[in-house]
Amino acid sequence: MSGHSLLISWQLKDKNVLIVGGGEIAAQRIDSILHTEAQITLVAPSDGLNSRTKQFVASHPDRISYHDRLFSGVDELKNIDMVLTALDDPEVSREIVDICRTFRIPVNAADIPPLCDFYFGAQIRDGPLQIMISTNGKGPRMASLIRDRLQKGLTGIEGGAIQKVGELRELLKERAPGIGGEVGKKRMKWMTKLCNTWSLEELAMLDKETMSKLLDQGWKQNAVPTLKDIGGRPRHDVDKARTGDSFVFSKQVFFASVIGIMTGSLCTAYLMAVRRQ
């Protein structure tokens, strides 16, 4: 099936992002980019800034460089790595997109999907966990509805569990350093087995002492002990989450996934039909 986008995690830390416009869409873009630790250049007349955009500018002077003016042309793109237009005027957006194409700068033009190099999907954020739902520009509201269904199915411990697993991986790399090769394969295999064996609730309970025991009794012995094996004990609320919420989570994720697949299929079919005309 063709017509789908490549979903990737784009690392924008210390990159420079230009946002043109100051309304609600611009505020949404600013909010998204602030999470990436990129530097933001905002170009928009002050009388076009909404309250949320003004608040972002005032509260993040170290991250947002604001210029009270209209987009002036190619000079705005110097040292810029990404451009986001959030304008009511489609002609100005098209002009900006054309300039970006000339300099091979990735660009997103709000509400004009055919001009976009990439789309903004509906997202769920929980610490290191990010989940994005994309309809490839066909139904933003549908993406939000599906996101809300998925959000209700999460227990609230997923981000914490991922954070703990990341900390354990770093400790393991200190004990068994090296990139690639046999040691890299062994680390990956052991971590995979651990994640498959331990529940999310148990992983979220990892602390320095438990991690040390895991590495001593597990990694060194080429085994994956259970939480009970290393003297750990599940909390009452963890047991409740595992027995009560896990089934609800699985069921909701299943139905939300089905809806997402159906939505994507319909959108792709529509796109292919339009292209044939």
For the chain, count helices (H), then strands (E).
10, 7
Instruction: Describe the strand order of the beta sheet including 64-67 as a list of residue ranges.
Output: 64-67, 39-43, 16-20, 82-85, 107-109
Q: How confident is the model at residue 91 (pLDDT cuts 50, 70, 90)?
A: very high
Q: How confident is the model at residue 276 (pLDDT cuts 50, 70, 90)?
A: very low
Residues forming the active site: 111
Q: Which of 116-120, 215-219, 229-233, 234-238 has the lowest mean pLDDT?
A: 234-238
User: Could you tell me if 108 and 118 are in contact, meaning their C-beta atoms sit under 8 angstroms apart?
Assistant: yes
If you average pLDDT over every residue of the chain, what do you get? 87
pLDDT of residue 271: 38
According to DSSP, the β-strands at 129-133 and 64-67 are: unpaired
| pLDDT higher than 50, residue 76 | yes
Concatenated DSSP letters of 175-232: HS--SSHHHHHHHHHHHHHHHHHS-HHHHHT--HHHHHHHIIIIITTT----TTTTT-
pTM reported for the whole predicted model = 0.76
Q: Which residues pair with 129 in a beta bridge?
A: 126
CATH class, 16-120 region: alpha beta
Tokens of 31: 């909010």
